[in-house]
Amino acid sequence: MTVQHEPDNWRKSSRSQNGSACVEVGSFGDGAAIRDTKDRAAGYFTADRDQWSAFVAAIKGGRFDA
């Protein structure tokens, strides 16, 4: 059994403002962990490599643009 530990390499986009309305991403196994900077104590959710790649591709493709 492999035990996953909380990521220690959290990062946010260099394009984000100095406010706290951002998300942070950290490496987690072979995927990613994602958390809200407004409430870090609330925890994080994880996505495996394929899920994370699909999510990033959707963002880059404009799928979530307003």
pLDDT in tens, 34-62: 999 889 899 999 999 999 999 999 999 99
Q: How confident is the model at residue 8 (pLDDT cuts 50, 70, 90)?
A: confident
Which of 23, 27, 19 lies closest to 40, judged by CA?
Answer: 23
Give the Cα separation of 45 and 32 in Å (integer): 8
**33 touches 44 (CB < 8 A):** yes
Pick the more confident residue, 23 or 5.
Answer: 23
Give the Cα separation of 66 and 46 in Å (integer): 25
